[in-house]
Structure 1
């Protein structure tokens, strides 16, 4: 379908906006927290001086982080909803439904995480941990299902799918590394720094995956076509 056709809406800006908004939110919150003295000045990707949550927990950084990440969660949900339509075909219905459910749960968890970040109490702490864990975990599973169906249906360039698969393997490696660090590193401070650095790296890989999805949809000229009373607008 031609991208210039009347009634055609390109969809690639959805994952692009979701990725860039998350990237801006985390780094803006980090910069504001460093300026306010809430966290030390460092490069968290390597030094692990702070977690994403701590960088966005205090002051103006917290308010702006929540202001940006909640609509970012909406964009994530919209991306997975559209992906469900993109993969609609006669086969693979179960995989598509699982992908859609996991993706929407992941987006909802991101919204919950952002909503309760900066609050105190055991319940709020549980909701924050639940939010970030489900966001990464369920989102990762949804990504695997999307790539599998896209490869079977040949909906994206093979090179783009290979790059997305490499990022998923890297994300899996970081997840395993986080578990290993928690189990084997005895020094609490060192373990925290390692886990913090892995969290920032994982977030960057997640942003990269969504950028590749946007590129794949752009290359495939995928979009939605609007109809009214059976006729294209």
Structure 2
């Protein structure tokens, strides 16, 4: 009778150690072990190795190719079995469940690629933001360093207005004390083209600029009732200054 019991237990242990199931896929790897009770003792995760200690003698030795887990080994110390799961990359802990007299050790990898994608996306967005900031800074510095009259001198001078003749060439009307200076500005230099000291003319120019009209209204600085002779003279003066600026 005792021999029969011993043989029964021996065959039960052998059957227990040999009956496990391994499901493999890209999303998860599941190890299913027969278990009529809770076998869990402890577990730990170190870099790319996950260790799981279970009660009893459980023999699992698998070499896996082409999946997130490359190898599974087991070591029995006479009481408990230590299962080591070796990962290709950083390891993770499984979900452990007991169903229908079986212990399911399920490693789910579907969340890992999403995390990697999110990391790459954050890196891409960070680089893009840095490039945009560099371009904005470059544009700002270029604008600040451009040789252009665009601000007032506190207390004594102010910019009345500008006229862009062509790309890189501009006429600026600058008031300093009681004189208006007509200044030609290019990408290479700044040239004084003329200065207007007549008080009446200066007042009319300032009045014209104060109305914030376009370039066509500059010819009307000298009043609404300008005859054709005055218009022709004004056009000739502006044309002469523009041609002088273009030759710079």
Does TM, normalized by the shorter one, top 0.5?
A: no
The bucket for the TM-score relative to the shorter chain is under 0.3
TM-score, with length taken from structure 1:
0.19
* Larger radius of gyration between Structure 1 and Structure 2: 2
Higher RCO, 1 or 2 (CA under 8 Å, sep at least 6)?
1
